[in-house]
Structure 1
Amino acid sequence: MKRTGNTILITGGGSGIGEALAQRFHDAGNTVIIAGRRRDALEAAIAGRANMHAMTLDIESADAIEAFAKTLVAAHPALNVVINNAGIMRYEDIGARRDLADAEATITTNLLGPIRLNNALVDHLKAQADAAIVNVTSGLAFVPLVAASTYSATKAAIHSYTISLRDALAGQVEVIELAPPAVQTDLTPGQRTREGYQPLDEFADEVVALFGQSPTPAEILVERVKFLRFAEAEGRFDAALEAITQLARGSGH
């Protein structure tokens, strides 16, 4: 992925990882469109920045995604990079019968959302020079967090889907996976200040540096996520699973 001169869409761009990356990509000389549900958060993220734009998007609605894609391409025909970052994480107890609303919303947002948006934009991207799709997964795609099992499962599914998409679009659209570790954001209550999580600015700076490599790695992996990403390959899976399970229990989950 080229470093500058892109027109980039970032979903979930009004806060957290999405906002931090959007502003850094904008600083590097790219036109950036951020999308999300909350207009106020989007406007705050783009305030004072030329060539940074905000569009509202209901990532849970298939019809809304189709309409959004048409409006987006009409307004920004140079669009050549899509970063699927929008996601939700809910803690759940899967050991007993429960209301599945949180699980179903997680699947709709984290799994169907990127699949639907990529489907709506893939033909446009294939016609662009230097096109790229970046799917944001998680270290939990590789070692699940029991207390957030559906979230972990959706990220594992997006990892698998990204491998398939990379092969299907080889030579047409670059397909990249970004797998964050636990980062200090508002993804879950109390996470912004949780000890042991990577500070957001430190994470975003490391990610941008990795994107600056040539060629861009197929997987963007900061140092902190490698404990999970390579746990199974290095024969550490059970120990990693136990470690993150105990960490979650220590924080009340």
Structure 2
Amino acid sequence: MKTSGNTILITGGGSGIGRELAQRFHDLGNTVIVAGRTQASLEETVRGRANMHWLTVDASDEASIAAFAKTALERFPAINVLINNAGIMHREDIAHGADTAIAEQTLITNVLGPIRITNAFVDHLCSQADAVIVNTTSGLAFVPLVTAPSYSASKAALHSWTVSLREQLRGKVEVIELAPPAVRTELTPGQSTREGYMPLDDYAAEVISLFQQVPTPPEILVENVKFLRDAEREGRFDAAVSMIAAL
């Protein structure tokens, strides 16, 4: 992936990892469009930055995605990079029969959302030079956090889907997976100050350095996430499940 001269569309771009990466890609000389549900946070993200724009979209709503894609392609026909970054995370107790609303909303947002958004843009991207799709998964795609089972499962599903997408688009669109570790953001309440989580600024700096490698790795893995990514292949899976369950 080239890291300048792109027109980049990033969902979940109004806060956390999405906002930080959007601004850093903008600093590298890209036109960047951030998208999300909350207009105020999107406006704050782009404020004072020329060639940085915002659009609203609800990644859990099929009609919203369709309208968003139509608007995005009409206003920004040079889009050649799509970063599917929007997602939600909730803790769950699944040891007893209960409402499945959290599971349903998590899977719709975190799995169907990026699938639907990719589907809305893939034909356009196939016609663009230097086209890229980046899907944000998680270290929890490889070792689940047992207190967030639906989130972990959703990221495992997106990882698998990304592997298939990469093969089907080989030679047409570069497909990259971004798998963060636990990062200090507000993905969950109190997470931005949690000891042991990676500072957002440090995470974003390392991610950008990995994107700048030639060739760009198919998986963007900072050092902090390799404990999870490599757990199964290194025979540490059960131990890793137990270890992060205590966090």
Do the two structures share a fold, i.e. TM-score over 0.5? yes
Q: Deviations over 1:18-49 (max 9, x none)?
A: 00000000000000000000000000011100
**1:64 matched residue in structure 2:** 64
AA paired with 1:48? G
CA distance in 2, matches of 1:91, 1:175: 30
Is 1:10 paired with 2:10? Answer: yes
Total equivalences in the alignment: 247
SS at match of 1:9: strand
Distance in 1 of aligned mates of 2:38 and 2:215:
35
CA distance in 1, matches of 2:89, 2:170: 31
2:217 maps to amino acid: P
Task: Tell me the distance in 2 between the aligned counterparts of 1:192 and 1:176.
Answer: 26
Q: Secondary structure at the match of 1:201?
A: helix
In structure 2, how many angstroms separate the alpha carbons of the residues matched to 1:246 and 1:207?
27
What RMSD, in angstroms, separates the aligned Cα atoms of the two structures? 0.4
Q: Which runs of 4+ in 1 moved over 6 A?
A: none
TM-fit CA distance, 1:13: 0.3
The residue aligned with 2:200 is: 200
Q: What is the 5 A alignment of 1:210-229?
A: 210-229=210-229
2:23 aligned partner, one-letter code: Q
Q: Distance in 1 between matches of 2:27 and 2:197?
A: 25
Partner of 2:244: 244
Single out whichever of 107-116 and 96-105 deviates more from structure 2.
Answer: 96-105
User: Shift of the alpha carbon at 1:191?
Assistant: 0.2
Q: How far off is 1:203 after superposition?
A: 0.1
Provide the rounded CA distance (Å) in 2 between the counterparts of 1:65 and 1:146.
Answer: 31
Question: What is the rounded CA distance, in whole Å, between the counterparts of 1:242 and 1:101 in structure 2?
Answer: 26
- Superposition pairs for residues 153-192 of structure 1, below 5 Å? 153-192=153-192
CA distance in 1, matches of 2:98, 2:75: 43
Residue 199 of structure 1 and its aligned partner are, at CA, apart by 0.2
The residue type equivalent to 2:138 in the other structure is S
Partner of 1:146: helix, strand, or coil? coil
Structure 2 residue aligned with 1:145: 145
Cα deviation 1:157-192 (Å, max 9, x = unaligned): 000000000000000000000000000000001100
Per-residue deviation, residues 50-72 of structure 1 (Å, max 9, x unmatched): 00001000111111111111110
Query: Which residue is 1:93 aligned to?
Result: 93
CA distance in 1, matches of 2:67, 2:56: 11
TM-score, with structure 1 as normaliser: 0.97
1:63-108 CA distance string (max 9 Å, x none): 1111111110010000000000000000000101111111111001
Aligned to 1:251: none
Q: Does 1:43 align with 2:46?
A: no
Q: Which residue is equivalent to 1:250?
A: none
Alignment-mate amino acid for residue 74 of structure 2: A
Q: TM-score, normalised by structure 2?
A: 0.99
| Contiguous gaps of at least 5 residues in structure 1 | 248-253
2:246 is paired with a residue of what secondary structure? helix
Gaps of 5+ in 2: none
